[in-house]
Amino acid sequence: MPLHPVYGHEALRARLVGTLKAHKLPPALLLLGPPGVGKQRLGLWLAAGLLCESGPGEPCGTCHSCRLVDSLQHPDVHWSFPVARPKGDESKQVEEAEETLGEAIAARRENPLYGRPDGLHALFLPLVRLLHRQAMMRPVMGRVKVFLVGDAERLVPQASSQEAANAMLKVLEEPPPDTHFILTTTDSAALLPTIRSRLVPLRVRRLPSADVARFLREVPTPAVAAEEAEHRAEAALGSIGDALEQREDAGDVAAAAERLLEAARRGPAARYRYALGVKSFGARSDFTETLGAAAELLRDDLAQRLRGAAGGHTHAEVPAERLVDAIRELDRAKGWARGNVNPQLIVAHLTRALGELGL
């Protein structure tokens, strides 16, 4: 089954097409944005544009190269994403990782509307070694090779486990001349600073609800009825992934983010009450989603402020530089949450820091 078309991001795609036609696309990009907004699909679209027989430029979708990319069969497009940790003999782990990844891509070929990776899956060292091996080879049929690395924050599954990230850094430091790297992440702070410094960041923003609803009406089988599509699009907060998962708790996540920021504003007693209400362990993904949603609220406020637009959230009185510091605090808290730090301790520190910033 071919990939679905790219929905939304028209302005961003127009910029990328101009860059492709001018042969000025950076060799290493970082697509940064919230989960479920189509970053990896956009990366595959960009790979098709690099390899299109009438390009580089906007992919035509009909040439042999574009059709191979859309069916996930182009020999010069290498898509990596988190998979289970290889368990075999160390000397054979690269081959095991290649087989596991191949099976996962075959599953996505059958059903391109895939869900989020398992919490225990990551971009482990054997997978990066496989990428390194492929990067050293010449293109098979195209002008270049393209490596798409999804959920790149999972190069460091734990704070003490940076081998895969360091191996990825080596590839980025010495890239072959015929190679493009496109990494995607929801959390750039989780990447090693040395990796971030070698990537050109490109923000992929949330989609308008109309684009999400149109996707739901046109792509899934069976299609979603118009009224339900509108309802789910509103609840998904600009994320096709959330809309596809039929997340009934999407509004709950936003509400939890509001409560976190409100607790920070209301003083020490409210902060400690909120912290004591956070589960000490378990449901860690819900906790990190709340932190991510709070950071997105502040990013939206900051973007509106920089554009000079009216509206936004409730932080009109907070200087822009303090909003930036607050977003950094939330990103730092997300990093702690991925480790073994007690969420209650994280929240106690975070809400105090946010309160001191005037939120």
Domains of the chain: total: 3
Please tell me what DSSP assigns to residue 85: P
Percent of the chain topping pLDDT 70: 91
Same-domain status, 226 and 290: no
> What average pLDDT does range 292-318 have in this prediction?
71
> What average pLDDT does range 288-317 have in this prediction?
73
Evaluate if residue 284 carries a pLDDT over 60. Answer: no
Confidence category of residue 308, pLDDT binned at 50, 70, 90: low
Evaluate if residue 168 carries a pLDDT over 60. Answer: yes
> What is the CATH number for 32?
3.40.50.300
User: Considering the domain boundaries, does residue 3 fall inside one?
Assistant: no
Same-domain status, 16 and 100: yes
Which position has the token pair 């990494």? 183
Who's near 93: CB < 8 A, 6+ residues apart? 86, 125, 126
Same-domain status, 256 and 160: no
Angstrom distance (rounded) from CA 278 to CA 344: 6
The predicted pLDDT at position 119 comes to: 72
Confidence category of residue 248, pLDDT binned at 50, 70, 90: very low
Same-domain status, 37 and 106: yes
The predicted pLDDT at position 86 comes to: 86
Tell me the residue range of the domain where 240 lies.
Answer: 210-244
Two tokens, residue 136: 């050293």
Angstrom distance (rounded) from CA 284 to CA 274: 16
- Highest mean pLDDT: which range of 112-116, 125-129, 160-164: 125-129
Evaluate if residue 306 carries a pLDDT over 60. Answer: yes
Same-domain status, 226 and 303: no
> What average pLDDT does range 154-170 have in this prediction?
77
Same-domain status, 290 and 315: yes
Maximum alpha-carbon separation in the chain: 64
Confidence category of residue 189, pLDDT binned at 50, 70, 90: confident
- The answer to whether the beta carbons of residues 159 and 339 sit under 8 Å apart is yes
Confidence category of residue 5, pLDDT binned at 50, 70, 90: very high
